[in-house]
Amino acid sequence: MTAPTASRTGFVVAFADGDGTMVDSLGGKGAGLAQMTRLGLPVPAGFTVTTEACRAYLAAGREPPLLAGELATALALLEERCGRRLGDPARPLLVSVRSGARFSMPGMMETILNVGLNDAVVAALAVSRGARFAWDSYRRLVQMYGRTVLGIEGDLFEARLRAERAAAGVSTDQELSAGRLEVVTRDFRVLCREQTGEDLPQDPHEQLHRSVLAVFESWTGDRARRYRVHEHISEDLGTAVNIVQMVFGNGGPRSGSGVCFTRNPATGEPVPYGDYLVDAQGEDVVNGSRQTMDLTTLAAREPALHAELCDHLRTLERHYRDLCDVEFTIEDGRLWILQTRVGKRSAAAAFRIACDLVDEGVIDLDEALLRVDGHQLAALLHPGFADSAGHPPAAHGLAASPGAATGRAVFDAPTAMAWAARGEQVVLLRPETSADDVGGLLAATAVITARGGLTSHAAVVARGFGKTCVTGVEGLDIDSAARTAVLPGGHLLAEGDALSVDGTTGDIFLGSRQVVASAGALAIRAWTTSAPSASAPYLAEADPVVRAMGRLLAHADLRRTCTVRANAETFHDARAGRELGAEGIGLARTEHMLLGDRRVLVEQVVTGDEREAGLRSIEALARTEFEQILGAMDGLPTVVRLLDPPLHEFLPDLVELEVRAAVDRAAGTVDDAVERRLALVRRWHEQNPMLGLRGVRLLAVVPELVTAQVRALAQAAVALRERGLDPRPEVMVPLVADVGELEAALASVRAEVAAVVGDSGTELDVPLGVMIELPRAALTAARLAEHVDFFSFGTNDLTQTTWGMSRDDAETSFLAAYRGAGTLASDPFSTLDDEGVGRLVRLAVTEGRLTRPDLGLGVCGEHAGDPASIHLLLASGVDYLSCSPPRVPVARLEAGRYAVLGQSAATAPETR
Ligand code: ADP
Ligand code: MG
Ligand code: MG
């Protein structure tokens, strides 16, 4: 196709001279109209005033000198084509003036229909086509012109119409008589004069001209601006304006207007789907005032027109190679197409349509993979509640971490852990959470906090672990000490009461509802756990959406070059991760083994009281858990991180102890044990624990705690080996800043492993790695790489330490304010900060690989489950991603998409 520039005058392009590729200049709507004209579809004649004209207008603050002339020429050509003239009562040309930017923008000025009507034309039209039609059209023009060009509040017109309907005793405008419409039109013009001192211009050229300029102006309106900021659309694009010959759907029973999709946008079913309204113009069909009919009914009423419409829908799909939506109008039995674009669709439809198009030979699997994304997949994989009807929520908060879960209410972490340990499902309710609650959070099926936003501690941790979570529940009053809560409606919730939590919607229900896994998640599990041959029939039977999901995931697996692992530290999570396709564990945190009731063991070790007994218990507990995890991941790498959190997190709470000691002292009953514990807790209390005694530094102070866990890991592996299994433990060292720290830590790990293995007579190779989560680790990566087999980027901490901000505190203290003011382009804890943190990652990747070409490079921060961050991380050169189990399919899909995008840079999604 040659570039259609022949008759292009610069600021104006006729539909017949443009095409679908010229979106920058013609806007989405204009390019679609031009393309449909080119495809031979019945599009009314018209032309587009280009975005260049708009930009020139906005830059100069006035009309570009050439525009008026070009408009006049284009209009003359249009008049000639239609055999009608603007303002000619005998053969009047009426047009619509429609805004249409590069990206569809609901915040923009709307369309003005029936431009070209004036008192003389309307009188003639009343004679030739009937008074009702003439006055209905004129009434609409005055209303739309008044609202969008003169800027009059739309409600003032609507109120007038309501009054007229009431007076006539009818419920829709369609039932208003010609006489009444004439009166309404007069009233509207009076309204215009009262509000602005202006009337509808009687010169149709002036109507047209003013309308075009009003569309230009609307680009800088507040609503449009806000929308662009929200959608990251550039301020500089400007909008195009389309001038289209009017076709009339409001001319009686054989006329009407409709919207439709080439296939069902909710289910993806390959059948056209739409709504049609008889005797209607413009948006009547979508504003819901009258009952619409579906396409099947239209087919029964107007079989030939329906067949023609379907024919055009097929043409459009063939051209755009995707689902399209379409606006159409029927005028006295003749079909016109007024707009098309690639249509929006549900997550389910996205998968189904992509695969159906593959089967229809329209696109290949690579392209199908690019038509879906990880957010859509995640939406399809969350469990939900079985019976959705008849369950009013008892409270509502922010949907902080998706999923559905039930359990009995508990109000503190120790109770959550104790109840969970005896097999109870619990929902943890806290005013807000802190590091002290993590054990309880892990034990609970869901977490609810009264305060906090989407990046509060509870929200972030819950998403990291794939737990259902609702935060910021307005009106929820939690009394942790009394172990009760008052719900917004006044209901008193006691410990042990059953609750159901929907983290996808933010709803909280009283009682226990049935949770059902999504069909998609069940299917993925079935496929990964069954032999390939066994999964084939299952695939064939599955519902088309599930089948499409499985197919695109499989294709993503084929394409991706990185591996995907899960972050998991319990048998349950390890197995869930594996079932969702994880090819190993990239992060098994060891601290949860020491939280809850087990904190006393740490205290014993730190104080030296019963130190040996404490260590023996820690080792035994850890060994059991490691056996379970390594067993679940048989044959796959399992990266265990050495003990990481600040020491004080394992010790009793300072304030609680201080209060107790003070009360005792006041009563003159000083308890030596309490005083001793208080001294201990004070000794290890830190002002700034995030930068304190944690990670590799613990080895300098409480080495036994760490080495007990390493021994337990080695013993677990040896035991499994002896049972004929294939455990693949790896160990990584957290929070290293300097090569000296790393060397010391690795030496002690090696010594412990060697001691265990030497005793057993088994062979065990344990690869060793270092976490890159401090800027200095990244900056000295070349030296660190000399000592390890792999790096694992802990992007959560690396973000905190690079930015010097605490994720847990930033949200409540200042991040929310930053967001309100638009200070930061994006939240670095949600999407990887490529410019800063990403640069450190790239530096470490490059220098690490220079030292050691076969260095493994993984990511175990939360970013590894975020679609946008995944692309940035893979572009930085990492070779495995490790995320919470429910995000594993998301990471697989996005890694596949990344690989396909890399091969076909030409089809990369456009940036705005
Ligand atoms: P939006 O961008 O809000 O969809 P449109 O420019 O598509 O606005 O126009 C609004 C309504 O007016 C649509 O229903 C459209 O089909 C209808 N419309 C626009 N131009 C014409 C025309 N020339 N003849 C008949 N109906 C039209
Ligand atoms: Mg439209
Ligand atoms: Mg860390």
Q: Tokens for 321?
A: 């190679």
Residue 642 has, within 13 A of its CA and on its CB side, a CA count of: 33
Quote the tokens at residue 83: 């055999």
Tell me how far CA of residue 652 lies from CA of 201, 291, 571, 596, 777, in angstroms: 80, 66, 28, 11, 32
**Which is more confident, 143 or 680?**
143
SS (H, E, C) 745-801: HHHHHHHHHHHHHHHHCCCCCCCEEEEECCHHHHHCHHHHHCCCCEEEECHHHHHHH
Residue 339 CA to ligand 2 centre (angstroms)? 6
C-alpha closest to that of 770 among 729, 728, 736, 730 = 736
Give the residue from 569, 636, 587 showing the smallest Cα distance to 795: 587
What is the rounded CA–CA span in Å between residue 603 and residue 609? 8
Task: Reduce the DSSP state of residue 705 to 3 states and report it.
Answer: helix
Counting atoms of ligand 1 from 1, which one is nearest the CA of 100?
A: 2
Instruction: Round to the nearest angstrom and report the end-to-end CA distance of the chain.
Output: 26
**796 appears as a binding residue in the annotation:** yes
Distance CA 250, CA 611 (A): 89
**Neighbouring-strand partners of residue 429:** 448
More confident residue, 290 or 123: 123
Residue 115 DSSP SS3: strand
Mean pLDDT, residues 628-657 taken together: 93
Q: What would the two tokens of residue 720 be?
A: 């499994």
Residue 782's pLDDT is: 98
98 C-alpha vs ligand 1 centroid, how far in Å? Answer: 7
pLDDT value at residue 600: 86
The partner residues of 248 in beta bridges, in order of sequence, read none
pLDDT at 289: 64
Least confident piece of the model among 225-229, 421-425, 448-452, 768-772: 225-229
**Is the pLDDT confidence value at 110 over 90?**
no
pLDDT in tens, 440-465: 888 899 999 998 877 678 887 887 77
Burial letters 605-615, b for 16+ CB under 10 A, else e: bbbeeeeeebb
* 828 neighbors 897 (Cβ within 8 angstroms): no
Give the number of whichever ligand sits closest to the CA of residue 735: 3
Mutate to test the pocket of ligand 1, among 98, 148, 211, 241 (most ligand atoms within 8 A of CB): 98
Burial per residue of 292-307, b for 16 or more beta-carbon CB atoms within 10 angstroms, e otherwise: bbebeebbeebeebbe
Best residue for ligand 1 mutational test, from 327, 328, 335, 340 (most atoms within 8 Å of Cβ): 327
- 245 Cα nearest atom in ligand 1: 23
Strands 384-385 and 395-396: unpaired
Query: Cα–Cα distances in Å, from 430 out to 433, 477, 522?
Result: 6, 10, 32
DSSP single-letter state for residue 725: -
Residues 59-63, mean pLDDT to the nearest whole number: 92
Distances (CA, A) of 292 to 276, 336, 379, 821: 5, 18, 31, 44
Give residue 534's pLDDT.
44
Q: What residues contact residue 747 under an 8 Å CB cut-off, 6+ apart?
A: none
773 belongs to an annotated ligand binding site = yes
340-399 per-position pLDDT tens digit: 999 988 888 999 999 999 999 999 999 999 999 999 999 888 888 987 777 889 999 998
CA dist 819 and 830 (Å) reads 13
pLDDT digits (tens, 9 = 90+) for 467-508: 899 999 989 999 999 999 999 989 999 999 999 999 988 999
Integer Cα distance of 115 and 244 in angstroms: 10
Q: Is 795 annotated to bind ligand?
A: yes
User: Which phi-psi region, left, alpha or beta, contains residue 584 (left: φ > 0; alpha: ψ -120 to 50)?
Assistant: left
Catalytic residue among 209, 312, 382, 457: 457
Domains of the chain: 12-245 (3.30.1490.20), 256-345 (3.30.470.20), 384-516 (3.50.30.10), 560-646+686-901 (3.20.20.60)
Q: In degrees rounded to 5, what are phi and psi of residue 64?
A: -65, 135
Does residue 457 have an active-site annotation? yes
What span, in angstroms and rounded, lies between the C-alpha atoms of 41 and 22? 18
Catalytic-labelled residue, pool 382, 860, 871, 883: 860
- Among 29, 96, 148, name the best residue to mutate to test ligand 1's pocket (greatest count of ligand atoms within 8 A of Cβ): 96
Phi, psi of 452 (to 5 degrees): 95, 150
For 23, phi and psi rounded to 5 degrees?
-65, -35
For residue 830, which phi and psi values (nearest 5 degrees)? Answer: -90, -50
Of the candidates 4, 5, 52, the one whose C-alpha atom is nearest the C-alpha of residue 26 is 52
Residue 26, H or E segment: helix 23-38
Distances in Å between the Cα of 873 and the Cα atoms of 36, 267, 327, 552, 893 are 41, 33, 42, 22, 15
Q: Beta partners for 427?
A: 409, 446
Ligand nearest to the CA of 734: 3
Q: Is the pLDDT of residue 706 over 80?
A: yes
Q: What is the pLDDT of residues 177-186, one digit of tens each?
A: 999 999 999 9
> Which pair of tokens denotes residue 329?
């109008």
Tell me whether residue 860 is one of the annotated catalytic residues.
yes
Residue ranges with CB less than 5 Å from ion ligand 3: 773, 794, 797
How far apart, in whole angstroms, are the C-alpha atoms of residue 561 and residue 900?
A: 10
pLDDT (tens digit, 9 = 90+) per residue, 152-163?
A: 998 999 999 999
Q: Could you say which DSSP state residue 101 is in? A: E
Rounded to 5°, angle at Cα 57 from 51 and 60: 135
**Residues, the chain, total?**
912
The residue whose C-alpha atom lies closest to atom 3 belonging to ligand 1 is 110
Mean pLDDT of the chain: 91
Residues having CB closer than 6 A to ligand 1 are 44, 96, 98, 110-111, 113, 244-247, 257, 282-283, 327, 329, 338-339
| Cβ–Cβ under 8 Å, residues 511 and 408 | no
Is pLDDT at 595 greater than 90 in this prediction?
no
